[in-house]
């Protein structure tokens, strides 16, 4: 089943994001290579592709996992969590209708 992992950043998270980004992307690449990743990306603070020093307010990952517990465990092990980027992470089932 698909699960949405919706993360909210702490204030001024850009430096923590930069430090943990390579490890964060490596884990997403593993999901992608396994054909389990639907989409992933950050929420820019500003209404632009590159918010510059304003940074990001959170992230969204939609991916396939065996269970809600497995999705939560994956989210809990995110390098952004360990780096203190996220203030809150919500994981819930997702039903894709389009495309």
3-state secondary structure of 21: helix
pTM comes to 0.95
**pLDDT tens sequence for the chain (99 residues):** 999 999 999 999 999 999 999 999 999 999 999 999 999 999 999 999 999 999 999 999 999 999 999 999 999 999 999 999 999 999 999 999 999
Per the CB < 8 A criterion, the answer to whether 25 and 57 are in contact is no
- The secondary structure of 58-98 as a DSSP string is EEEEEEE-SSHHHHHHHHHT-HHHHTT-EEEEEEEEE----
Distance CA 38, CA 96 (A): 10
């Amino acid at each position: 089943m698909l699960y949405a992992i919706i993360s909210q950043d702490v204030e001024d998270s850009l430096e923590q994001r930069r430090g943990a980004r390579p490890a964060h992307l490596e884990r997403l690449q593993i999901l992608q290579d396994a054909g389990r990743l639907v989409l992933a990306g950050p929420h820019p603070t500003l209404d632009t592709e590159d918010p510059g020093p304003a940074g990001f307010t959170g992230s969204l990952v939609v991916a396939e996992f065996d269970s809600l517990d497995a999705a939560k465990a994956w989210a809990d092990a995110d390098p952004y969590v360990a780096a203190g980027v996220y203030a809150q992470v919500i994981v819930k089932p997702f039903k894709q209708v389009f495309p």
